[in-house]
Amino acid sequence: KFMLNQPQSVSESPGKTVTISCTRTSGSIASNYVLWFQQRPGSSPTIVIYEDSQRYFGVPDRFSGSLDTSSNSASLTISGLKTEDEADYYCQSYDGNNWVFGGGTKLTVL
C-alpha cells in the first residue's frame, strides 16, 4: 500500500508557471496511471489530466502532466497562470483496483 504526498499549498503570480508535485511513497510512480483533478471553491472536482499526461476534454494546453521516476513523483504544470486557475488540485493513482488520492494542494494565484 502506498500514499501520494502533495504540498499543502503553492502560490504564484499571474502569467507565471507553477508545478505541483505528487510523490508516491512506495512502488514506482510509473506502475499505475496518475490523474489530476481541479476543484474550484464551491464546485465539484473536474479531471484535468488522465493517464499521466493526457489533457481532459476542454482543458487548455497550459496544463500538462508528467512523471519523474528519479523522484518517484508525478507533476502538474500550469503555465501562463490565470486567476481562474486558483483552486485545489488533487492527484490520484491506483493500488491494484484500489484508488489512492493525494491530500490536495491549494493553488493561490496572486
CB nearer to another protein: pick between 2 and 56? 56
Judge contact between 9 and 105, C-beta under 8 A: yes
Q: How far is the CB of 1 from another protein (least distance, A)?
A: 9
Region binding another protein by CB under 8 A among candidate stretches 22-30, 43-51, 63-71, 72-80: 43-51
Judge contact between 36 and 27, C-beta under 8 A: no
For 82-95, b/e burial (b = at least 16 CB within 10 A) is: eeebbbbbbbbbeb
Instruction: Enumerate residues 45-104 that contact another protein by CB under 8 A.
Output: 45-47, 50, 56-57, 90, 92, 96-104
- Answer yes or no whether residue 26 interacts with another protein by CB under 8 A: no
Do the strands 105-109 and 9-12 form a parallel or antiparallel pair, or are they unpaired?
Answer: parallel
- Answer yes or no whether residue 23 interacts with another protein by CB under 8 A: no
- What residues does 72 pair with on adjacent strands? none
- Answer yes or no whether residue 8 interacts with another protein by CB under 8 A: no
- What residues does 94 pair with on adjacent strands? 99
Interaction site with another protein (CB under 8 A): 35, 37, 44-47, 50, 56-57, 90, 92, 96-104
